[in-house]
Structure 1
Amino acid sequence: MRTAAVLTEYDTPLDLRDVEEATPSPTGIAVETDACGICRSDWHAWKGHWPSVPTDGHILGHEPAGTVIAVGDEVENYSIGDQVGIPFNIACGCCDNCWSGKSHLCTDGLSLGFARDLPGAFASEFTIPKADFNAVHLPDGMSSVEMAGLGCRFATAFHGLAHKVNVCAGDWLAVHGCGGIGLSVVNIGAALGANVVAVDLNEDALALAKEVGATATVNAGDQDVSKAIRDITNGGADISVDALGIAETCRNSIDCLAEQGQHVQIGMTTDEEAGEIGLPVDKMVNTELEFVGVKGMPPNRYPELFRMIAGGKLSPVDLVTDEVRLSDVSDQLRSMDDYDTLGMEVVTEF
């Protein structure tokens, strides 16, 4: 048996209980969970914003790292005792997107912890199918906590800035929302040479943003955010990221851009927006703005991120502000209702 925090009803505490042990498929591995991040995407699922997430004893958790404890007969690249991390987009390995290096957009892919057929890692053990394609080995010197800090947030932010838009040295980059995603964007943007303007309501979050690379900060509670950014940047940001996913931050992100600027959407919407946000389409046309969506990062791109971490250019572990127990997950999710979190929380006791 293994211990898990189980979803039985939306917006209610997870049920800590014993469940069946983790047994891998022939292509899969079972992993003892050493660390698992608590992400705002978990909060979205827990709140019921995504009704496809089941409530019949499902296990959330999609930012894990751990130790391989069992290996399927067909697995070639992993052995018992290996330290691994798991990108949350679990792919089939054989569709056109997988073959072309876009496995995070796999036609038959599943999201760890969000799909009925793929329970997550808010548990002492979990399994991953097609492990040769979907898991990554932890580099020497990287801890499970740091890998969990990469989670979906840091990796998604890296994919967005390094692969999807044109961040150049000296660019102005605006970041709306300084939770885990936003702080990741700040750290990565600074490492790529951008001047970063961080926006939030929380002064502690803004202070942390300065520590990890922000050039300037804007408190969204006491001024016109878009005007403040245009003033700081002398005309508008080259790239702007909505790291929160509410209508206000999305609009502010687009409104603060200079001509031919790029808006990057990483934050997912709540049930208030229900996936739909009104946009200034005429302005976007007349100033040739781009709207870019970002979802995760394929495993084959992780070595780029690992090399920057090893070289000291990026430090996701600096964004991990608290290590908690599995029994604390419900309280941590509840605190996200009021944005009452700072940085990233990681479960390290199961």
Structure 2
Amino acid sequence: MQAVVLEAFQEPLEVQDVDRPEPESHGIVAKVDGCGVCRSDWHCWQGDWDWFGYRPDPPHVLGHEPCGTVVEVGSEVESVAEGDHIAIPFNFACGKCDLCRNGHENICENHVGLGFMNEAPGAFAEEVHVPNADINAVPLPDDISTDTAAGIGCRFMTSYHGMAHQGDVGGGDDVVVHGCGGIGLSAVHIADALGGNVVAVDLMDEKLEKAQELGAVETVNARDVDDPAKEVRDITDGGADISVDALGIKTTCQNAVRSLGKGGRHVQIGLTTSDEQGMIPLPTDEFVAKEIEFVGSLGLQPSRYSEMLDMIQTGKIDPTLLVDKTIDIHQVPDELAAMTDFETMGIPVCTEFAD
């Protein structure tokens, strides 16, 4: 089958023929119907994230935002059948550890990152293997189309968890989102649906215009102001209730924290690059003086997908609004290369995998 293969970090990616996966006894193989192209794939291609184990040994198949149709089922799988349409979380869980048993499958003790670790070749491919399928293969309702399912991968479902659970966004909350890529625009859309008043911050007018289309009540172009955090505090009459760093660099993280008012909560979704290697200085005295909370957000528990799917089915949120283009597998390398200079917007989705 065809797949996008990382042969060497930072070197051009190639579409190659690779062996089709075989299901383990607890796993399934799915035909990939769609797979989002994410900046996290770009990070993996660059060789980032070895400091927390997300650096596979080349050659390795990339891709971590798939939906698919089950084509083979392992002998021990009970709840998934051939022909099922499924969403596939990128953060595979074991289903047996204490964290999984207590509803925290997204931070499973035995977590395996799809497309990011040797144990889980990715989904820029015609087929993908899903281990522990009874927990990691999430059945999709019949009325969720392939186009919709392809848009709920890492960025959308991660933003849902970040806004609905970790951020606990509610009616009337002032929410500021720093960085309007796929995660940031998803966060804008979801926070708006949850009742938040969203301020979007970015460097590109076209991304801010998209944020307004998705529900932002105000925008700030950080290029045009001396202090983006002060602009947000002025807009929100003293500071936001909830802030989001959707990019993961020093500037956006610090500005997001400084955008908060007293008693505010910062949600960190963006992961850092090799420049920061996970270490960003923060205004700790402000955390004390303002009693600010800092929380992280990773993926979405399979057991809580139903919340997000219910909101999609009732029309409150719509992942297809974030999908800016559909491409074939041969276009994936160029789409990732464009992310080097932040030239993509929204969520590109690969929907064609065979010639």
Whether the 8 Å CA contact 1:36–1:145 is kept in 2: the answer is no
TM-score if structure 2 supplies the norm length? 0.96
Deviation at 1:171, TM superposition (A): 1.0
Residue 324 of structure 2 corresponds to residue 321 of structure 1: yes
Stretches of structure 1 that go unaligned for 5 or more consecutive residues are none
Percent identity, please: 52
Cα separation, 1, equivalents of 2:310 and 2:187: 17
What amino acid does structure 1 have at the position aligned with 2:35?
A: C
Contact 2:33 2:150 in 1 (8 A): no
Decide whether the 8 Å contact of 2:174 with 2:197 is kept in 1.
yes
> Partners in 1 of 2:115 and 2:316 — Cα distance?
30
Write the distance in 1 (CA, Å) between the matches of 2:293 and 2:56: 35
> Deviating runs (4+, > 6 A) in structure 1?
none
* Partner residue, 1:246: 249
- The equivalent position to 1:260 in structure 2, one of 254, 260, 263, is 263
Q: Of 131, 134, 148, which residue of structure 2 is paired with 1:146?
A: 148
The alignment status of 1:62 with 2:64, answered yes or no, reads yes
Tell me the SS of whatever aligns to 1:292: strand
- 1:15 equivalent to 2:18? Answer no
State the AA in 2 paired with 1:31. A
Q: Would you say how many aligned residue pairs link Structure 1 and Structure 2?
A: 349
Q: How far apart are residue 214 of structure 1 and its match?
A: 0.5
- 1:45 maps to which residue? 44
Q: By how many angstroms is 1:161 displaced? A: 1.5
1: distance between equivalents of 2:16 and 2:89?
A: 26
5+ unaligned residues in a row in structure 2: which ranges?
none
Deviation, 1:93, is: 0.9
Q: Contact conserved, 1:65 with 1:145, CA < 8 A, in 2?
A: no
Aligned-partner SS, 1:323 = strand
| Alignment of 1:189 onto 2:191 | yes
**2:138 aligned partner:** 136
- 1:237 corresponds in structure 2 to 240
Q: Does 1:114 align with 2:116?
A: yes
Does 2:4 match 1:5? yes
What displacement does 1:149 show? 1.2
For the 8 Å contact 1:197–1:214, the answer to whether it is kept is yes
Matched, 1:335 2:332: no
With over 3 angstroms needed to count, the CA separation of the structure-2 counterparts of 1:14 and 1:55, relative to structure 1, is farther
Q: CA deviation at 1:199?
A: 0.6
Code of the aligned partner of 1:66: G
Out of 52-61 and 226-235, give the one that drifted further.
52-61
Distance 1:84 1:20 in 2: 22
- Given the alignment, which residue of 298, 301, 304 partners 2:301? 298
Determine helix, strand or coil for the equivalent of 1:244: coil
**What RMSD in Å do the two structures reach over aligned CA positions?**
1.0
- Residues 316-337 of structure 1: per-residue CA shift (max 9 Å, x gap): 1110001011111111111111
Q: CA deviation at 1:143?
A: 2.1
Equivalent position of 2:73 in the other structure: 71
* Contact 1:168/1:192, CA 8 A, preserved across alignment: yes
